[in-house]
């Protein structure tokens, strides 16, 4: 019962913090306190959070190593742009189309590949991600290798914020539900969970489809913020970038994924000044972090308000 | 028919290059279960060493090949000691991310030092002759690439099957703990595996330089992934599988770009990958091993 009371209090605090955050940035954006440089980085941050949290559902919580996340992002980006730019539909239709298309792609790819394990699954998803890219390259309707230029910028702060919060909330609630417990049990031991009556294929595909869907949502946000999409953007290096964020944050830690997304976005922006050695420093940081913190920043723990209390307590 | 044979001939040299690269992937995977994403970039470094050996020191191509192989063998051992060894007992995904980090590091340090521009292998280092044989055109380039690859593969087979080092490598890849108990130095064996794999990659790099004439710091990415597909096709961890997979993939790609669209060339490699994974994930040469409960 105490838990219930606490969770209500927590809920109210969460709503207040989120509303506060939203209003603060909204105020800054509408009064032009944030220049375009900060706005671009803010959008990258939100998109990175969506991508990382959704990939974390597949890689971290379900334990299925997927290297094709950029492919789903591409499906979402293209589906939404076809809806808005080419068919003249409103943004919300584009977003729904993006989610549905990416979820469908996730289903089509997930059903056959999720029978595979470990490295084989990783390679198969990498292959599928690349196939999506090559296929997009060969469709003239969406501009072939040159992609689509001149997309109307529809992604505004409320959309971005809403999409990011939706992604995080859905995935956190999923993980805390009975579905989530089944998903985590599949990660911990497939054979044991099967013996407990869990249909492991069903839960793997479920997680995969939901992860793909939110990658598609992130793709729609991306496409309508940066004016231009082309297949080359969504190659396997992009998938690696997302994977790096997830592993850096700690597999199976949503707060870890968010922190790592923020860290990587800030790091990328800060290194922009030294463009020539940016990638060298980035790769060195990656190697060093993995050597000294192979479980990522958070491991599989979550950052909670309780932990803050502890840290402050210790400092006293 | 003649055109088909010509495509096969063209495919053989590309296949030989893929096979050399695939060998390195498969050896490293066989011994430490790591997909070494930096392998393609080691190949790129090899191509650069070969290039500078030819252009700055005026050596002939054969010497350049050996110099590149030696340099990359050292580089491979260094990478293993610095980046992979500390992670040998942590999760495989951490090692995978480190491999991606090493790959990016090699690419961008080379871009920083040598600029991202393409460099052209000077034509006089390898004057081109065409031999005509029963209507087929075979260039001396093709012969050189194919011949060197085959010789290297024979040497590799000899090392693995006939020498004590090779025996140690096979033992460690089958059971690391048992190998330690038999008095095999696992560290040393892993280092040797990296040295041999990287030397083969360097050879592939120089051969690609000769084959395509140009090199650049990002040249390793696509052949790296393709060679990896070849290794999976043959059965990852299995050495003859990597050779067969490399040749098969090379020929398949040349056939597709010869008869169909070259834009779909890349998709073919991945399509093959998916098919083999769905039908026989352990690869053409792999044995099915069930899960133990």
Q: How far is CA A79 from CA A98, A141, A170, B34, in A?
A: 5, 12, 22, 36
DSSP B214: E
pTM of the model as a whole: 0.85
Inspect the interface and report whether the beta carbons of B107 and A240 lie closer than 8 Å.
Answer: no
Does B129 reach chain A within 8 Å, measured CB to CB? no
* Domain enclosing residue B162, as ranges: 15-220
The mean pLDDT value for B259-263 works out to: 70
How far is the C-alpha of B168 from the C-alpha of B190, rounded, in Å?
10
State how many domains chain B has: 1
Neighbours of A159 (CB within 10 A): 18
Are the beta carbons of A68 and A109 closer than 8 angstroms? yes
What would the pLDDT profile of A91-149 be if each residue is shown by its tens digit? Answer: 999 999 999 999 999 999 999 888 887 778 888 898 899 889 988 988 888 888 888 88
With respect to residue A290, please indicate whether it lies within any of the assigned structural domains: no
Neighbours of A285 (CB within 10 A): 16
Report the residue from B33, B105, B271 with minimal CB separation from A280.
B105
pLDDT at residue A92, as a whole number: 92
Which H or E run contains B130? Answer: strand B130-133
| Residue carrying structure tokens 């081109």 | B128
pLDDT at residue A293, as a whole number: 84
> Which chain B positions have a beta carbon within 8 Å of A134's beta carbon?
263-264, 266-267, 270
How far is the C-alpha of A147 from the C-alpha of A131, rounded, in Å?
16
DSSP A57: I
Backbone torsions φ then ψ of B163, nearest 5 degrees: -100, 165
How near does any CA of chain A get to the CA of B75, in Å?
A: 16
Report the residue from B95, B100, B108 with minimal CB separation from A240.
B100
How far is the C-alpha of B250 from the C-alpha of A120, rounded, in Å?
22
Crossing angle of helices B140-162 and B164-174, in 10° steps, is: 80
With respect to residue B230, please indicate whether it lies within any of the assigned structural domains: no
Contacts 24+ apart (CB under 8 A), B128-135: B135/B2
With respect to residue B227, please indicate whether it lies within any of the assigned structural domains: no
How far is the C-alpha of A256 from the C-alpha of A262, rounded, in Å?
10
Inspect the interface and report whether the beta carbons of A291 and B228 lie closer than 8 Å.
Answer: no
How far is the C-alpha of A259 from the C-alpha of B97, rounded, in Å?
18
Percentage of residues in chain B having pLDDT higher than 90? 39
DSSP A283: H
How near does any CA of chain B get to the CA of A217, in Å?
A: 25
With respect to residue A293, please indicate whether it lies within any of the assigned structural domains: no
Q: Where are the alpha helices (DSSP H) in chain B?
A: 2-32, 39-55, 61-79, 92-114, 140-162, 164-174, 176-181, 186-212, 221-234, 239-259, 265-279
Question: Which of B 71-90 lie inside 8 A of A, CB atoms?
Answer: 83, 86-87, 90
Task: Compare all CA atoms of chain A with the CA of B104 and give the residue at the minimum distance.
Answer: A283
Neighbours of B162 (CB within 10 A): 10
| Of B255, B249, B246, B257, nearest in space to B201 by CA | B246
With respect to residue B229, please indicate whether it lies within any of the assigned structural domains: no
What would the pLDDT profile of A23-52 be if each residue is shown by its tens digit? Answer: 888 777 777 777 778 888 889 999 999 999
CA B224 and chain centroid, separation: 7
With respect to residue A242, please indicate whether it lies within any of the assigned structural domains: no
Give the end-to-end CA distance of chain A in Å, rounded to a whole number: 31
Q: How far is CA A248 from CA A55, A98, B95, B207, in A?
A: 13, 28, 12, 37
Task: Compare all CA atoms of chain B with the CA of A125 and give the residue at the minimum distance.
Answer: B274
Backbone torsions φ then ψ of B288, nearest 5 degrees: -80, 125
How far is the C-alpha of B19 from the C-alpha of B239, rounded, in Å?
10
pLDDT at residue B290, as a whole number: 53
Pairwise pLDDT comparison (B281 vs A205), residue with the higher score: A205
Both tokens of B153, joined, read 């593969």
Does B5 reach chain A within 8 Å, measured CB to CB? no
* Domain enclosing residue A155, as ranges: 35-234
With respect to residue B231, please indicate whether it lies within any of the assigned structural domains: no
Give the mutation candidate from A111, A130, A288 for the B interface (greatest B CB count, under 10 A).
A130
The mean pLDDT value for B212-222 works out to: 88
What would the pLDDT profile of B131-166 be if each residue is shown by its tens digit? Answer: 887 778 888 888 888 898 899 999 999 999 899 999
With respect to residue A21, please indicate whether it lies within any of the assigned structural domains: no
With respect to residue A296, please indicate whether it lies within any of the assigned structural domains: no
How near does any CA of chain A get to the CA of B273, in Å?
A: 7
How far is the C-alpha of B128 from the C-alpha of A23, rounded, in Å?
69
pLDDT band at A308 (very low <50, low <70, confident <90, very high): low
Task: Compare all CA atoms of chain B with the CA of A134 and give the residue at the minimum distance.
Answer: B267
pLDDT at residue A6, as a whole number: 61
Both tokens of A129, joined, read 């991600």
pLDDT at residue A316, as a whole number: 39
What would the pLDDT profile of A130-141 be if each residue is shown by its tens digit? Answer: 889 988 988 888
> Which chain B positions have a beta carbon within 8 Å of A137's beta carbon?
263
| Of A136, A164, A124, nearest in space to A76 by CA | A136
Inspect the interface and report whether the beta carbons of A291 and B98 lie closer than 8 Å.
Answer: yes
With respect to residue A85, please indicate whether it lies within any of the assigned structural domains: yes
With respect to residue B7, please indicate whether it lies within any of the assigned structural domains: no
What would the pLDDT profile of B32-73 be if each residue is shown by its tens digit? Answer: 888 888 999 999 999 999 999 988 888 888 899 999 999 999
| Of A71, A68, A73, A98, nearest in space to A83 by CA | A98
Task: Compare all CA atoms of chain B with the CA of A64 and give the residue at the minimum distance.
Answer: B93
Does B288 reach chain A within 8 Å, measured CB to CB? no
> Which chain A positions have a beta carbon within 8 Å of B102's beta carbon?
283, 287
Which of A6-15, A149-158, B84-93, B107-116 has the weakest average pLDDT?
A6-15
Give chain A's mean pLDDT.
Answer: 86
With respect to residue A305, please indicate whether it lies within any of the assigned structural domains: no
Inspect the interface and report whether the beta carbons of B98 and A287 lie closer than 8 Å.
Answer: yes
What would the pLDDT profile of A252-262 be if each residue is shown by its tens digit? Answer: 889 999 999 99
ipTM for the predicted complex comes to 0.83
Computed from CA positions of residues A286, A288, A289, A293, in that sequence, does the dihedral angle turn out positive or negative?
positive
State how many domains chain A has: 1
pLDDT at residue A1, as a whole number: 46
How far is the C-alpha of A238 from the C-alpha of A235, rounded, in Å?
6
pLDDT at residue B262, as a whole number: 67
| Residue carrying structure tokens 């050896």 | B27
Task: Compare all CA atoms of chain A with the CA of B230 and give the residue at the minimum distance.
Answer: A123
With respect to residue A168, please indicate whether it lies within any of the assigned structural domains: yes
The helix/strand/coil state of A155 is coil
Computed from CA positions of residues B243, B246, B250, B252, in that sequence, does the dihedral angle turn out positive or negative?
positive
């Amino acid at each position: 019962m105490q838990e219930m009371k606490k969770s209500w209090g927590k809920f109210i605090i969460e709503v207040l913090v989120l509303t506060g955050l939203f209003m603060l940035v909204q105020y800054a954006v509408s009064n032009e306190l944030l220049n375009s440089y900060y706005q671009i980085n803010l959008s990258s941050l939100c998109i990175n959070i969506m991508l990382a949290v959704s990939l974390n559902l597949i890689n971290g919580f379900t334990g299925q190593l997927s290297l094709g996340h950029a492919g789903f992002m591409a499906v979402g980006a293209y589906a939404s742009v076809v809806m808005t730019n080419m068919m003249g539909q409103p943004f919300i239709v584009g977003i729904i189309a993006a989610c549905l298309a990416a979820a469908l792609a996730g289903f089509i790819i997930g059903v056959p590949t999720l029978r595979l394990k470990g490295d084989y699954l990783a390679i198969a998803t990498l292959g599928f991600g690349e196939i999506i890219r090559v296929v997009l390259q060969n469709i003239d309707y969406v501009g072939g290798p040159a992609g689509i230029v001149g997309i109307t910028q529809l992604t505004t702060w409320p959309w971005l914020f809403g999409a990011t919060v939706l992604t995080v909330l859905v995935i956190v609630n999923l993980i805390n539900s009975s579905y989530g417990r089944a998903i985590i049990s599949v990660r911990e031991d497939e054979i044991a969970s099967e013996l407990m009556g869990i249909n492991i294929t069903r839960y793997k595909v479920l997680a995969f489809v939901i992860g793909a869907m939110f990658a598609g949502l992130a793709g729609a946000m991306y496409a309508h913020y940066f004016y231009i999409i082309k297949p080359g953007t969504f190659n396997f290096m992009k998938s690696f970038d997302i994977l790096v964020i997830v592993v850096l944050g700690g597999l199976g830690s949503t707060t870890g994924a968010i922190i790592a997304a923020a860290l990587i976005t800030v790091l990328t922006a800060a290194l922009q000044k030294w463009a020539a050695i940016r990638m060298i420093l980035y790769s060195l940081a990656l190697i060093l972090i993995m050597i000294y913190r192979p479980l990522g920043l958070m491991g599989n723990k979550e950052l909670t308000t309780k932990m803050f209390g502890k840290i402050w307590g210790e400092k006293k | 028919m003649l055109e088909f044979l010509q495509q096969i001939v063209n495919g053989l040299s590309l296949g030989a290059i893929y096979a050399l690269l695939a060998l390195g992937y498969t050896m490293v995977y066989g011994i430490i279960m790591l997909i070494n994403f930096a392998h393609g970039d080691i190949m790129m470094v090899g191509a650069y060493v070969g290039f500078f050996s030819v252009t700055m020191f005026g050596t002939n191509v054969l010497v350049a090949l050996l110099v590149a192989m030696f340099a990359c063998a050292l580089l491979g051992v260094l990478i293993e000691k610095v980046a992979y060894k500390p992670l040998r007992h942590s999760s495989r995904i951490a090692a995978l991310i480190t491999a991606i980090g090493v790959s990016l590091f090699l690419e961008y340090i080379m871009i920083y030092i040598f600029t991202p521009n393409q460099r052209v292998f000077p034509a006089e280092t390898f004057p081109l002759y065409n031999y005509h044989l029963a209507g087929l055109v075979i260039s001396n380039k093709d012969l050189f690439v194919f011949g060197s690859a085959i010789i290297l593969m024979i040497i590799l087979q000899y090392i693995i099957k006939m020498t004590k080092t090779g025996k140690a490598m096979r033992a460690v890849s089958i059971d690391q703990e048992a190998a330690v108990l038999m008095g095999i130095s696992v560290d040393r064996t892993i280092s040797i595996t990296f040295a041999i794999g990287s030397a083969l990659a360097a050879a592939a790099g120089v051969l690609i330089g000769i084959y395509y004439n140009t090199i650049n710091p990002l040249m390793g990415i696509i052949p790296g992934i393709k060679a990896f597909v070849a290794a999976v096709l043959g059965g990852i961890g299995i050495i003859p599988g990597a050779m067969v997979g490399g040749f098969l993939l090379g020929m398949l790609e040349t056939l597709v770009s010869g008869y169909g669209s070259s834009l779909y060339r890349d998709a073919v490699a991945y399509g093959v990958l998916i098919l083999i994974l769905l039908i026989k994930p352990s690869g053409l040469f792999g044995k099915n091993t069930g899960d133990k409960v």
